[in-house]
Amino acid sequence: MSQISYFTVEGLKRLQDELHQLKAIERPSISKQIAEARDKGDLSENAEYDAAKEAQGLLELRISKLEEVMSHARLIDESTLDVSKALILSKVKIKNLANKAIMTYTLVAENEADLKLGKISVDSPIGKGLLGKKVGETADITTPSGTIKFELVEISR
């Protein structure tokens, strides 16, 4: 049983683009490599053929996984989200109560998380701890290095 994956318009477009790239460009390229290797003769000792067949198998696996994700993808309508509490796609400003550091993150689905872009997964320890919290509330978040107390300073879209 597959899990429903939630996407922003941007995230779903990126997934569709990757799937198109794999099917329209990389799949024909690997087929061509296999045909060229097959033309070289004895397949039992043809390393090029073996490598191309392995690459084809990995490509087909990736395509299959992307198609599976796409079949269970749901688009999130940002205009209907409640900004009174932290939810998926909320932009949150949090304050570490131990060291007073303030951080801003956007809570996203796991498949769109990118810490460099300030996007953390709602399935991460911090994301889970913040979900449903309102401005001014604190969250005790258990991380591998111990429990950290965060205060939710601001929520926006």
Q: What is the pLDDT of residues 91-120, one digit of tens each?
A: 999 999 989 999 999 998 888 888 899 999
Contact 6, 76 (CB under 8 A): yes
- In angstroms, the CA 138 to CA 157 distance is 20
Among 103, 96, 102, 121, smallest CA distance to 111 is for 121
- In angstroms, the CA 150 to CA 138 distance is 5
Kind and range of the H or E run holding 52: helix 47-71
Per-residue tokens: 106: 């956007």
User: Going from the N-terminus, what domains does the chain have, and what CATH number goes with each?
Assistant: 5-75 (1.10.287.180), 80-156 (3.10.50.30)
pTM to 2 decimals?
0.65
Tens-place pLDDT, residues 66-93? 999 888 888 877 676 667 888 888 899 9
